[in-house]
Every structure is written in structure tokens, then in C-alpha cells.
Structure 1
Amino acid sequence: MNRKATYKIAPCLYRSIHHIFTLLLLCWTVSSSAQSANNNYSSSKQVISQGQLLFQENCASCHNFKQQGIGPNLSGVTAEVSYQWLTKFVRNPQQLISSGDKRAVSLFNKYKIPMPAQTQLKDTELKAILSFIHTQKPVLTTSNNDSTLGIVLDNPIPEKIAQSALTLQLEEWATAPRTAQQGPAARVNKMVVLKGKKEKVFLEDIRGILYELSGNKFRKVMDMTKLLPNFIHVPGHATGFGSYAFHPDFYRNGLFYTSHAEKKDAAMADFGYPADIRVTLQWVVSEWKIDLSKADTVFTGTSRELLRINMPGSVHGMQEITFNPLSGPGSPDYGLLYIGIGDGGSAEDGLSQLCNSSSTLWGSVLRIDPRGRNSTNGKYGIPSINPYASDNNPKSLGEIFARGFRNPNRISWTPDGKMLITDIGLNNVEELNIGIAGADYGWPYREGTFLMNYQGKMNKVYALPADDKGITYPVLQYDHDEGNAISGGFVYTGKIASLKNKYIFGDIVQGRIFYVATESLIQGRQATIQEFGLSFNGTSSTFREITKQSKADLRFGAGTGGDLFIYTKTDGKMWKLKDCLLKVNSQ
């Protein structure tokens, strides 16, 4: 039966489908060009299968076929626009936006950032991806329980973030070595100061490289691509060399810990799920025994695997592992490793059962004893102080410290002992939480201090129910009028007096830099956020203007003496905070 015949026989069905299409990628009627271009899509099972794999590698971090994520739901998009338009858009979205193309501009206005240009794809690969997308038709469903949730909050946090009188004076400090010819120049991520008899500074590139910094010079001390045969850093969103941490007794025991991504079938996972749920990749935590006699030049030694986790998607992986820097010998927390593990996109993909209970570890912060051996696999310890280690529920996972996160991507501590966990949101709210053992932070049924329809469409939020209880809410939040993804920072401990006792953080996408007073981070309250002005080498500007990119891809690092560094993965540039100026009101 051809398409025109279908329209004639079932006009009501067509109108319903058309209504759903208007809520998806492009809000226009079906064009004749889209219909006539269908012969560009391959019907070959082999090509479509290849397209599915390429979609997982290149597209699934932002798109799915069930609901809006970072980018639009793509189900039915090939009936909305032509093959030729989709090809142009995927190749160079920013060019279409700059040309004034109505569809491209509308998408940019809705999602705030353009899709990165996919210039690395061969023509045959792009055709395979679009052919796979073409098989994903919209499903006529209604959002579960929407009518019972109340009124949709189109602007969850109407108060705007105020511009402060403080301007950060940044000076260009270094450019990290380029690690790819296409895409971000250097995916520099986490800076760590190794304290002890010899204080050192390290910086990791997600593509698998660990550098030691001597001033602003980079010396490669570790290359995961050569040490781990199954290591992967594609797709680029939230894969690769996730994080690293030095054992607090490193200078005595040489123990060093890393997290990294591997291929989906690399080895048997310690934590998995039913076979009917796909495995996209695995995240692995490893312990390395470093030869301290050679550590000044290169990290060599032996490694052993502590745990391995299957992930349903490539997003929201294991982006943080760390030790509590404030705990000393004799403290119950001393030597315990915290691990932030995201939900792997499970909630957005209709798999919320993976991330909403104490019997599953996705969307949680774990705490393990890497030197213990009482875990199920016998490779690490489960601390008795963990909240679920002795809750008398045989299904609970004792490794869990706290749960209810979408993407707990940064963990730090305030000087007075508060554990801070940033959680990157979906469509509406970015948040900072105080880490409390046993707490449930609400994902996927909450985002910030708002209710979500986790069983249906998750692109809207609602007011909390009157009988709300059992959820621990953030102490700081902002909505997507202000930014798109929180970039965790630090409480400033350097020499600039005006910045003392301020938690400095920002937005990954927009490149804006914010702060709150540390004393305002109180559980049960919302701290007031203020924005810094920015000056680069003496010229007022923004990170978007400096990088010449719509996505700044911003990260923070704390060096020796509390020096603050801000760097951007788009260009690999690192900026050092030189001073902070107070603007005096002349009126």
C-alpha cells in the first residue's frame, strides 16, 4: 500500500501522526521533497545494521527515539524533512543556522546549541545512519499520568542569575597537546594535585593520556591506548579515560586508581541487567601498583581490575572517582574510594528500573574499600559504614553511598567538610547537592526541586506533590534559561581575598562562570547564584567568543596553592586566574 493510499484510507490517523511530528525535530508539515527523497534511504539490512552501530557511536549521546534529550527525539524525522536537508544539517549545522534556514534556526533557538558538525563521517556512513533513522517511526502513545501531575512549568526557575560586581582576570597559561585531528583539539578534563613529600600536578585527556604538569609544560606519564587493548574513547561523549585518583598513601604504597570505558563484550561484567536490554559499552575501575622509583618519568607497574559495569548507553558514564581529601589516618572514611556512576541514559530510554532503587547501582555514588576483599567478586571491600551494607535487605547493594543521580560528574569537598556532588540534568534543571550517606536525590522521578513524569515524556517538570517526602534536594540549582550542563568546580582556597570561601563553578555549554558563598550551602535551602564578569588577557569577553564555538566545553581545575584554572576542550586552551577585580559603582 503506498503512502498516498494510506492517507486517503486513514485521514484521522494521519492527522494524529502529524500532530506528534510537530512536537519532534522540525515543526513543519510533510513536504513533497521529503516524500520524493525516500529512495535515498537504503533498505539493506546490512546497511541499516551498520547505521544502528554508527548511531550509537555518534548520535545516541544526544538523541533517541522515545523522547527529547539533549537534542530532539528523532523518530519520524525522515517524514518531516528531505534526505538532502538532513545530510546538509548533519554535515554542518552551524552553516545552516548562519544561512538563516528556518528549521535550523528553530532548532538552535529551542536547544540553545547547534549539533556538532559530523565531518568525520564518510558519505556511506552518513547514509547508513540516516537509513537506520528512517526505520524509526513515531509511536502513537500518550504521556503516562501527565494529567495527574499538575500544570507544566515552562519556566521552572523564573529568577535570573544576577551579574555580580566581580570580574575574573584570566591569563592564557597553556595549550594542551592536540590528541585528535578532528573534533575537540584536546579533551582535557580533570586536574589533580598529588600531595606529600613531593607535590605534583596532573591533568588527564579523556582520549587516554595522563600528563604531569611542570609549570605549563606537559609530560606524558601514562597512555591507556597502549596499556589497555580494549580501551575506547569513542563516541566522544562521556567515554574514554573517565577519572583517576591517587591513594592517600601513594608515596608509600604506589597505588593509583583509574576509570575507563571498554568495548561492550570485553569481559564478564560484575554488574549487569537482563539480556533483553542492550549493552553499549562497559566501565572499568582499575588499581595500578606504580613503581615509585620510576614515577618521576613514567607510570609503570602492574594493574588489576576492581569492578566492571555494563552500560545501556554511551552517555552518563563513570566520570568521577576520588578519595576524601579531608579524611586522615584513623578516620572511617580514610582510603575509601568514591565512584560516580551515571544512569547510562537508561531513564530517557524507558529503562528507569535500572536507576531508581538500592538494588541497582546506575545513577549512584558508590563508596568502596579498594584494599578490602569482601565484595561479591572478591576484588574490593564494602565498607561496613555504608548505608546499604547492613540495611537487612538482601537485594540492596552495599557499595552504594547515595543514589538518585542522572550524571554525578564531579565530587569535591568544602574546607569545612561538606561533600559536594554536581549532577547534570536532562531538559530543565542543573544542580549541586550535598552528599549524604543513604540519601535519595530523586532521579528519575525528580529533577532539581521539581517533579518529573519518569514513566512517560520527561521533557517537562511540575510542582512537587503536597505529600512529598523521602527525597534530598539540591542546595543550588539553575534552569536551562541560564545554561545547559553544570560544570563542577571548587571552593577557592588561593591567595585572592575577594574569592575566599566561594564555590566557583560554571556551565559546560554556555561557558558562564558562577559562584555562591560557601556558607550558603545549607541542606534544605537554595543558595543564591551570582555570575562573574570575565576578562581574557586584559580584554572583556566570554568563553564562547574566545573559543569561537557555541559550546565552550568548560572545565575547572585547582592547582598548587589553590590556584584556579579554567580550560576548554574545544581548543585545549588553559586559562589561569590572575586576579579578581571589583567594579565600583560610580553613581
Structure 2
Amino acid sequence: MIYKINGLLRPVVGYALAGIALLASSNLQAQNRSTTYSTNKQVVEKGDELFQKNCSECHNFRQRGIGPDLSGVTAEASYAYLGKFIVNSQALVKSGNKRAVARFNEFNKVPMPAHPELKAADLNAILSFINTHKKVIEIEKDLGDLGTPVTNPQPQKIAKAGMTLKLQEFTTAPATSAKNPVTRINQTLVLKGPKGNRLFMLDLRGKLYEIMNRQFITVMDMAKEKPNFISEPGLGSGWGSYAFHPEFYKNGLLYTTHTEKKNSAPADFAYADSIPVALQWIVTEWKVKDPTASTFEATPRELFRVNMPSPMHGMQQIIFNPQAKPGSPDYGLLYIDIGDGGSAEYRFPQLCDNTTQIRASVLRINPMGHNSKNGKYGIVPTNPWAHDSDPNTLGEVYARGFRNPNRISWAPDGKILVSEIGFNNQEEINILKPGFDYGWPYREGTFRMVFSGKKSGVYNLPAHDDPKYTYPVAEYDHDEGNSISGGFVYTGNIPLLKGKYIFGDIVKVRIFYVDYADLKLGKQSVIREFDLQFGDQKSTFIDMVKNKKADIRFGQGEDNVLYIWAKTDGKIWQVQDCVAN
């Protein structure tokens, strides 16, 4: 058994009996463990790669997330059991295996995806890598009186709205993989131009499409443009986002984010060598030779790149203020939401908990300026930390305290909404304000977040809360869903939807709304759920795609029509109407 004392990992003989007791309580004893784990360096490295690709979205070796903490699991369960669980956890659950059933119930009956494609050698590599992570028990820090951990932050269930969204099939995106998900379509954009509007859609695997007459035409292929481009292990990696400059048809400037292999080039935002680098996120400006062309021929100019300690929580979106007019202060400024890169969960909070770090922030930059540290973009002088006389703070940061800001959108009155994917319990909708701190990694939703051994979890806020934190205006817990998919305040032609911020949950695939007029700082707005009708059939996304994780996203088209799609099958649905039940 290994213990963590003052940040150092040390064996502690005095705790041996406690360690024995912990092992004895396991359903499957350590003595049943197979001896087939490999210590070969190449096998373990392959296992690390496969783990990041297949497992790291839900698991780590520090604490529970969407799934359990896996440190020490090879001492608690047999090699054969773990292999079967990875390949098809639900088969074990259905067989009545006590450990599998207990895990399924513990994590709100959200099934772990099956991995039938993994060969015996792949399983051995993954399990050998997992076996290198022994149980670490942290000596508890003195955090004062936290009270009792909150196990059900939102006891009141989300009620049905008594309204049905009528969805009509629009088109289906090209498959970019033979296995699930067949696509990773992620973001639509309408580009307004002198000869009419154009509708674009991005697939994170590296394809930018223009949709014409419901057909997909490849406009750019990031894998061909960037030799170090990677779109695995998923988790938002790949071609993350894109944004056309407001004067694109005049200057031909397109902005993108994408991921590359670690050490592809020196990072502008790096950290100590003792902390691992999983990958790099890059922001690029492209000069498109002919903005009207059906295929973009473009020259890249890198603005900056960021090292990340894990594949999680990267750059989810870049966007220009769609309401800013020429001459207004916000015109031509690029907003970039960047998550913590898993820093908090991997126990590197110093990479994401202050304004000297770029992670866990929403940035606002002038992409055509040159007064940044690397001279490749501009620091906006009106940003909160641009002129605070502290050389260590970053003028790029507009607001901070976000674990994984999923989407940014502008409401009709100019307010900016940011959806935030949570960790232990809470999914959030926030109103973005310059200079505000939204709490991560010390707050999750309207609760206190603690990373400290057995005390890890969420707690009620202290009686005298730190006034520097700003809290969400709507939230839901993991009884209701596990990962928010941000949407839009509806401004289209359907009367019952006007003034509603429509969004959903990626994992449990439910479609929600809040009344935008109710979203105010300092209060929680009520969330309601739509019923769904696909063509003439009332159903759910899970039943339509026949997969427990449909992985939904939202987009807008011409005339502010609303699209909803599932990455699982790539089928795009247009919201045609909304009727009272």
C-alpha cells in the first residue's frame, strides 16, 4: 500500500493492517488475481495509449469521475474479471455478478461502453498499464469542518414540460469511422456572404464540410494540412472548432483549433517537466486564397499552442461575437473557451486555479494584433487582467474557473451564456462576465468541491462563502444526466420555443430548456424536459440510434433553425415545430 504524505508517495508500514482490511472487503480477493500482467515497457506504453483512447473520458487514477477511480483495481479484482468487464460490462451485470451490479448501481445505472473490438493483446496492454497504478491513500488535509458530503445535490427531479419537439430528418453526415461513433460532427456555422449564405459543419476527425442541397462537400481536411494532427483519443480532441472572421469575404481569415501529438513543437503555454504532457492544443489563423471557393486553399499562421496533462477538457469552441458591428469594442475579437486539461483530476491544480495559467478560462484575444508575449496575436486592453500591473497574470484571460466550458452563445439581449461540463455531480449554465471566477477547481455548481482522499466530493457551501466566486444560473445533477451539451436561445419562427435556451445532456440524451428571462445571477432557473417526436414516431434519441450513448449536439442553420444530431449515427434532425401535449 502506498500513502501520499505532504504530496509525496511513500510506503507506510504502520498502515499495513488498514490496507489488509481494505483488500479483505473487496468482492474479489487479490490472491485470485492472474499473473499475466506485463511489465514490458512497450506493452505498458501501448496500454497507456489505449487507455487514453478508450477509458480516460470516464476513469483516472486519482478519484472517481463518471466512472470509478482505477488505482489499485488490479489488486481487488481478477485479471479475467477486469478483461470481461472492459469488453462487455453489461453482460456481467446481466449475469448477476455482484461486483458488476454494485458498480452499475453506484454510478446511476449508466452503462460502460462495450469494447468488443479489443483483441487479447490490447486488453493485456490496457490491464498492464492499469496495474502500474497502485492504490494511493492520501493523508487527509485539515480542511476544517466540511460537514457531510452531498450525495444528491438536486433531489427534485427535472419535470416534463408538457411539450413535444417535432423533429424532421434533415440529412446524414458522412461516416468517418467504421465503428461507433461513426461520426464526430460537432459544430455548424452559417457564413453570410454577398451571394447568399453557406452552411458549414465540422467533424472532429478533421473534416470541414459545406452542406449544399443536403450533401456534404469537404472544404478542408486538417489531417492533410497538419502532419502531427491527431483526433484520438476523442474526449473533444481533433479539429476542435472553427470561426470565420467577420470580414472573411474581404480578408479570407479563418481560425481553427486542433490537437497534435505531445512535443510536436515548443508550447507557448507550458509547465514543469515533472508534469506529463498528453497532447497540445493549437490555435491557427488561415489565409484562404479564395473565400468563395468550394475547397479552401489556405496558408496557416500559428497563434499559440498549449500543453495539456491529459486528453480531456481542451478547447471546445472559438467564436466571434455574432452581434458586434464594425466600430464596436467587441468587433473582430476572438473568444476561446479552454478547459483545465484534466489538471484538477490529475492533481495538478496549480495548472488551472489562477490567472497566471491559461487553462480553465474563457479567453478574448485580437487575432490580428501583435502585443502578446509571442507577438503573434493581440492582448485586448479592456480585458480584466490586461493592465493589472502584475506581470504574471495573463491578459488573454477574460474570465476563469471553468472545468470544461462546452459552448458559448449570445442571447438576443447581448448576454453571453457558457455551458459547463461538471465532474462529480453538477452540470452548469453560466452567464459570462469579464473578470469573474466561476469556481473550478474549488467549486462545482453551487457546491464546494474537495479533492482530498476520502473527503473527495461535493459539500454545501460554507456559511461565510468566499465572495470572489460566481455561481451558475441553472444546474442539474448526475441523477438527471452526466454531461451538458450547450445550445442556444431560440430566435426562430416556432412560437412555443421563443425565448427558451434549449440544450441537452450528451450521455443520457435528454433535451431540456430554461426560460431565458429567468436566467439571473444569484438565482437558479427551473429546467424542464421536452418530449420528442421523430417524424411521426414519438421516441427518444437512445431508442432512435439504438445506443446507450447517442452523444448529442446542437447547431443552428439559416433563419435560426435549430438542429439536433447524434454522433452515434450522424443523422441530423431539424426542429420543425413544438406543440403542447
**What TM-score bracket applies, with the shorter chain setting the length?**
over 0.9
Shift of 1:238: 1.6
1:447 maps to which residue? 444
Q: In structure 2, do the counterparts of structure 1 residues 306 and 89 end up closer, same or farther at CA, with 3 Å as the change threshold?
A: same
Whole-angstrom distance in 1 between the partners of 2:93 and 2:173: 30
1:56-71 → structure 2 map (5 Å cutoff): 56-71=52-67
- From 123, 137, 143, the equivalent of 1:126 is 123
Shift of 1:14: 5.5
1:344 to 341, 359, 363: 341
In structure 2, distance between residues paired with 1:496 and 1:15: 66
Query: Helix, strand or coil for the counterpart of 1:56?
Result: helix
SS in 2 for 1:39: coil
Equivalences for 1:179-198 in 2 at 5 Å? Answer: 179-197=176-194, 198=196
* Cα distance in 2 between the residues matched to 1:216 and 1:457: 53
Pick one of 278, 282, 299 that aligns with 1:280.
278
| Distance change >3 Å, CA 120–CA 440, structure 1 → 2 | same
Map of 2:6 onto structure 1: none
Q: Which residue of 2 aligns with 1:101?
A: 97
347-356 vs 74-83, greater mean Cα deviation: 74-83
**1:151 aligned to 2:153?**
no
Q: Distance in 2 between matches of 1:235 and 1:401?
A: 29
Check the 8 A contact 1:428/1:459 in 2, yes or no. Answer: no
Call closer, same or farther: CA 1:18–1:514 in 2, change over 3 Å. Answer: farther
Pairing of 1:99-498 with structure 2 (within 5 A) = 99-112=95-108, 113-145=110-142, 148-197=145-194, 198-292=196-290, 295-456=292-453, 459-468=456-465, 469-498=467-496
Deviation, 1:97, is 3.0
Note closer, same or farther for the CA distance 1:19–1:145 as it changes in structure 2 (3 Å cut).
farther
1:232-289 deviations in Å (ceiling 9; x for gaps): 0010112101011110111111111100000001001000111100000000000111
Q: State the Cα RMSD in Å.
A: 1.9
Deviation at 1:174, TM superposition (A): 1.7
Taking the aligned partners of 2:63 and 2:414, their CA distance within structure 1 comes to 39
Establish whether residue 39 from structure 1 lines up as the match of residue 35 from structure 2: yes
1:87 corresponds to which of 83, 90, 93: 83
Q: Give the AA of the match of 1:40.
A: T
Among the aligned pairs, what percent are the same residue?
54
Instruction: Report the counterpart of residue 540 of structure 1 in structure 2.
Output: 538
Structure 1 length-normalised TM? 0.93
1: CA distance, partners of 2:245 / 2:455? 39
CA contact (8 A) 1:18 1:29 kept: no
- Post-superposition Cα deviations, 1:56-82, rounded to whole Å, max 9, x if no partner, equal 333223211111122111111112211
Q: Secondary structure at the match of 1:365?
A: strand
**SS of structure 1 residue aligned to 2:486:** strand
1:466 Cα deviation from its structure 2 partner: 1.8
Pair 52,542 (structure 1): closer, same or farther in 2 beyond 3 Å: same
Unaligned runs of 5+ in 2: 1-11
2:455 and 2:406 map into 1 onto residues whose CA distance is: 21
- The answer on whether the counterparts of 1:17 and 1:140 sit within 8 Å (CA) in structure 2 is no
2:19 alignment counterpart: 17
Q: Aligned residues, how many?
A: 567
Secondary structure of the residue aligned to 2:44 is helix
Within the candidate set 487, 507, 510, 2:508 is matched to: 510
Give the stretch that moved more between structures: 157-166 or 51-60: 51-60
CA–CA distance in 2 between the matches of 1:60 and 1:395? 32
Give CA-to-partner distance per residue, 1:432-490, whole Å, 9 cap, x none: 11110010000000001101114556752111112211101111111111110110000
SS class of match (1:116) = coil
Gaps of 5+ in 1: 1-9
Shift of 1:521: 1.0
Confirm or deny: 8 A CA contact 2:384 2:398 kept in the other structure. yes
Which stretch shows the higher mean deviation, 481-490 or 166-175?
Answer: 166-175
Q: 1:486 to 1:145 in 2, by over 3 A?
A: farther
Tell me the TM-score normalised to structure 2 length. 0.94
Distance 1:29 1:78 in 2: 12
Contact 1:350 1:455 in 2 (8 A): no
Kept after mapping to 2: 8 A contact 1:514/1:530: yes
Query: 1:49 matched to which residue of 2?
Result: 45
Farther off after superposition, 270-279 or 466-475: 466-475
Q: Structure 1 pair 416/87, CA: closer, same or farther in 2 (3 Å)? A: same
* 1:468-516, Cα deviation, whole Å (9 max, x unpaired): 1110111111111111011000011111111001100010101111111
The CA distance in 1 between the partners of 2:507 and 2:198, in whole Å, is: 30
Q: 1:392 to 1:11 in 2, by over 3 A?
A: closer
Conserved 8 A contact 2:33-2:74: no
Deviations 1:315-359 (A, max 9, x none): 001111001101111111110000111101110111111111010
Structure 1 residue 159, shift from structure 2 partner = 1.7
Q: Does 1:75 align with 2:52?
A: no
The structure 2 residue matched to 1:524, chosen from 522, 525, 532, is 522
Deviates more, 1:474-483 or 1:45-54: 45-54
With 506-515 and 296-305 compared, the bigger mean Cα shift is at: 296-305
- The secondary structure found in structure 1 opposite 2:216 is strand
The equivalent of 1:3 in structure 2 is none
Corresponding residue number in structure 2 for 1:551: 549
**1:145 positional shift:** 3.6
Give the Cα separation in 2 of the matches to 1:486 and 1:411.
12
Separation in 1, partners of 2:354, 2:461: 20
The amino acid of 1:55's aligned partner reads F
Q: How far apart are the structure 2 equivalents of 1:196 and 1:525?
A: 40
The 3 A distance-change label for structure 1 pair 158 and 122 is same
- Tell me, yes or no, if the aligned pair for 2:167 and 2:574 is still in contact at 8 Å: yes
Residues 185 and 18 (structure 1), Cα distance of their counterparts in 2 relative to 1, 3 Å cut: farther
1:214 Cα deviation after fit: 1.6
Q: Report the residue type matching 1:495 in the other structure.
A: N
Partner of 1:4: none
Equivalent position amino acid for 1:82 in 2? S
Deviation at 1:15, TM superposition (A): 5.1
